[in-house]
A and B are shown apart, each in its own frame.
Chain A
Amino acid sequence: MSSIFIFPGVGKTSLVVRYIGKMFSKHISPTIGASFFTCNINLDNARVKLQVWDTAGQERFRSMAPMYYRNANAALLVFDITSATSFTAIKGWVKELQSNVPEAMVLSVVGNKSDLESLRAVPYSDAAQYAATIGAAYTETSALHDQGIDQVFLNTATSLLKLSSSNLVSSLRSYDSADGDTDRIPTGKPSEEDATHTGKVELPAWRIDNIAHGEMQRSMCC
């Protein structure tokens, strides 16, 4: 088993808070355990509800990770472009995911803190090349300057939608809802692990540290 631990401080929480809360705070306090966020993303003909786990990077929370990625359908693998170690850490996580998550998964590699270009330690091309080998998109972001973040989430949602329509993934089901009522209970059978949870379409997406359980819903838009 890989024994790589994730580096805290790459900016995972800042990214999510920027995306969902539309703000950046210099004084974000370290995540304890994992925080749970939800957001809705409107695509051309569908609305995707993402449930995002933002996990703590500290090694002592390492053992919690399987709980978040087990039912996930997407993962954002965030590293800090000024830290080579944080980039290396990602590779270990990808291996762990590949050997523990049987279902197809949307992977996305994110190089954060792009505003710190002068301190860059991971060349763009290295990261992009690596992302290509695992079939992931590569995006650079800055939570500070709000750059690239919308794109990361939008791409993830779009890929999830594709994944769901290609029906490759059994845990990922979408259902049509004529009225677009987000709270409608689906008729589909709940998956064993998620019997507890709202029971809607599971479109979980996780990222290394941000694991999103997506609930996706297509509305009958024209």
Chain B
Amino acid sequence: MASTSKDNAPISVQDENTPDELEPGACPESILNPTDSFEEFASEMSSSLQERNALTTKSSTISEIQSEIGEEKDAQMKTTKSADDLQSKDGSISASASSSNLTEENGDDTDNAPENYLHSPELINKEKHVFILSSAGKPIYSRYGNEDKLAGLCGVIQALVSVVEEQNQDILRSITTKDCKAVFLVKGPLILVAVSKSNESETQLVLQLTYAFNQIVSVLTLTQLNRIFEQRRNYDLRRLLSGAERLIDHLLIFMEKDPAFLLGAVRCLPLPEKARENITNAITTTCHKIRDLVFAIMIAGNQLITLVRMKKYTLHPSDIHLLFNLVRSSESFKTAESWTPICLPKFDATGFLHGHVSYIAEDCQACLLLLTVQRDAFFPLSQAKHTIAEKMRRSNCLVAINDALNRHRDLPTTNPLKHIGIPEIRHFMYKCKSTAQLFTSDPISLDRLQDYRMRHKEGGDIVEKPIKKLSDIDYVRNYRQFCSQIHCTSIPAKLIFRSNAQDTILAWVTNGFELYVTFDALMEKDQAIKAVDRLLWWIKKEEQRIFIMNAPTF
């Protein structure tokens, strides 16, 4: 049973022993915006119907940057921005062609008896469903099965949501049955629903739905999404999203497995301090004269290598997660340099940035994203990328990245538990709150994700078979409930210690960090606290390698 204690005994222990008063990973300035996603979603959950309907669009950061870059360019930029719309220049959604197409697509809806479809093998026995529909009740996305055949279900969902709104002047948030939770989220013109049998809390599910919504915004921008439905309430959004369903599919899997989502933090690729510095320098020296460049981001294997930014601007972890997801789901980036519009919802939901996306070299799977406000900047950025890659090769950075990615035996971060030398610790994850960065003892590798999907039969079916050796993913599943207790808005816990015959889990949050540790079964509390202390000492010692400890600008 979970025993919750708010005594700060362990905090005093920490004060004596950690080498520095700053928590591991903390630094004066952060590249990431450390907003806690839980706080944000808690506010999402508590907003009233009026507040939600008055959802205002913030001023555009992109326009701000554009006007800062230069006056003479400004006029041209403005037109550029409006031309970024998906619609033809006259501003209307190519109406005639689309409507004719629409009727075609929906023609065969009536063929199948919808009640039977809900019981088909494609849909039953799934751990978690996600449905997205328009507020008019038109299906947009279903995680499993064919959303075309779910028109009936979507109608029911839409009716439920609107009855609560219209008759009770309230918001339908969730429905709970014995073994299943349905969570509803209305965002702009969309309704998102998760139906889950997992141990995720309502807040965690809302968080996932919000991510799914942001993924759609990232492809279309909020401005367009709203305008499309203002013009045609009945629009079939699948037309514009075609090809992007894959992004939502991947995102949903990713969110279930990677603690980065659970904690609202970003994992960095552990690198020697010098190597990271060289990479950052390669970028800043090459790009400091490119005025419209807003962010240069290098990532590998869902980990951040470096982020260089325009002064004043930082990125929200959730925007970075969407970039991770985009890169991970798009094999096509590997074959050639790409140029694509990208909207980062937290940065500016109203407009597109333009991204030059490419892998550094054939022999190095690090991906560089150069994000600009200038839609014609492909060629200078392409040039810049080649210069950066060349500089990195000359300073041996490619080798350093490859060693980290291949988890070279000699690196202390490859097998941290062995290095720390506390045999009782099976697994840990640590988040530095002020920089929104994360480190875990056993980073999930991509092949591991693959294994997991196979074990869970790719289709997300519930599998009863007990798991023999736990992986990062399984530990993270176990932490979920502790995480919700710690982030619970009414009575948040500071320290949770639970010991039983299976394992011992300690979850601890301070102003500076969050830490989750799994120990062997039946550990004593004192012993656990001593071990945690050593653990923190080790993280502090390795912090320069594990975390990005500065916030470079162009």
A interface residues with partner B (beta carbon < 8 Å): 1, 3-5, 8, 13, 17, 21, 27-37, 54, 56, 58-64, 66-67, 193-194, 196-198
Contact = CB atoms under 8 A, between A and B. Distances in A.
A63 B339 contact: no
Interface residues of B, number: 45
Listed from nearest, the 3 A-B pairs whose CB atoms lie closest are A33-B340, A3-B94, A197-B379
A35 B336 contact: yes
11 contacts: A1-B88, A29-B329, A32-B326, A33-B340, A35-B335, A35-B337, A56-B243, A60-B219, A60-B242, A61-B340, A196-B380
A39 B357 CA distance: 20
Contacts of A197: 379-380
Nearest to B239: A59
B130 to A, nearest CB: 21
Interface stretch (B18-26, B78-86, B148-156, B199-207): B78-86
A194 to B, nearest CB: 7
B331 A27 contact: yes
A3 B379 contact: no
A142 B156 CA distance: 47
Interface string B187-208: 0000000000000000000000
Contacts of A31: 332, 338
Counting chain A CB atoms within 10 Å of each CB, which of B219, B337, B340 scores highest? B340
A56 B244 CA distance: 12
Counting chain B CB atoms within 10 Å of each CB, which of A27, A35, A62, A198 scores highest? A35
Contacts of B335: 13, 17, 21, 35
B137 interface: no
B377 interface: yes
Contact of B333 (A32, A58, A60, A61): A32
A59 B336 contact: no
B516 to A, nearest CB: 35
B69 interface: no
A60 B220 contact: yes
Contacts of B338: 31-36
B72 interface: no
B96 interface: yes
A33 B339 contact: yes
A59 B240 contact: yes
Contacts of A34: 338-340
B97 interface: yes
A1 B239 CA distance: 19
Nearest to B224: A60
B444 interface: no
Interface of B: 83-90, 94-98, 219-220, 239-244, 246, 326, 329-333, 335-341, 355, 357, 375-380, 382-383
Given A8-B242, A59-B242, A198 B88 contact: no
Nearest to B88: A1
B86 A3 contact: no
B378 A36 contact: yes
Nearest to B93: A3
A138 B81 CA distance: 37
Contacts of A61: 86, 340-341
Nearest to A70: B376
B332 A63 contact: no
Given A58-B243, A196-B377, A5 B336 contact: no
A193 B376 CA distance: 9
Nearest to B89: A1
Given A5-B97, A33-B340, A196 B379 contact: yes
Contacts of A32: 326, 330, 332-333, 338, 340, 357
Nearest to A64: B341
A196 B96 CA distance: 38
Given A36-B382, A196-B380, A60 B339 contact: no
Nearest to A193: B376
Contacts of B340: 32-34, 56, 61
A18 B341 CA distance: 26
B86 A62 contact: yes
A85 to B, nearest CB: 9
A37 B242 contact: no
A32 B97 CA distance: 23
B84 A63 contact: yes
A196 B383 CA distance: 10
A13 B338 CA distance: 12
Contacts of A66: 83
A198 B97 contact: no
Contacts of A193: 376
Counting chain A CB atoms within 10 Å of each CB, which of B244, B336, B337 scores highest? B336
Contacts of A194: 379
Contacts of B355: 33
A60 B376 contact: no
A8 B339 contact: no
A30 B243 contact: yes
A1 B90 contact: yes
A1 B370 CA distance: 33
Counting chain A CB atoms within 10 Å of each CB, which of B243, B326, B380 scores highest? B243
A6 to B, nearest CB: 12
Contacts of A54: 336
Counting chain A CB atoms within 10 Å of each CB, which of B220, B338, B383 scores highest? B338
A28 B332 CA distance: 7
A5 B331 contact: no
A149 to B, nearest CB: 16
Contacts of B84: 63
A27 B326 CA distance: 17
Contact of B86 (A4, A56, A63): A63
A197 B87 CA distance: 28
B542 to A, nearest CB: 36
Given A32-B332, A62-B86, A63-B86, A8 B94 contact: no
B336 A37 contact: yes
A63 B331 contact: no
A29 B97 contact: no
Given A1-B90, A59-B239, A197-B379, 15 more contacts: A5-B97, A13-B332, A29-B329, A30-B243, A30-B332, A34-B338, A36-B336, A36-B338, A36-B378, A59-B240, A60-B219, A60-B240, A60-B241, A67-B375, A67-B376
B337 A3 contact: no
Counting chain A CB atoms within 10 Å of each CB, which of B96, B97, B355, B357 scores highest? B97
Nearest to B382: A36
Contacts of B244: 60
A62 B94 CA distance: 11
Nearest to B340: A33
A66 to B, nearest CB: 8
A66 B89 CA distance: 11
Contacts of A35: 332, 335-339
Nearest to B342: A33
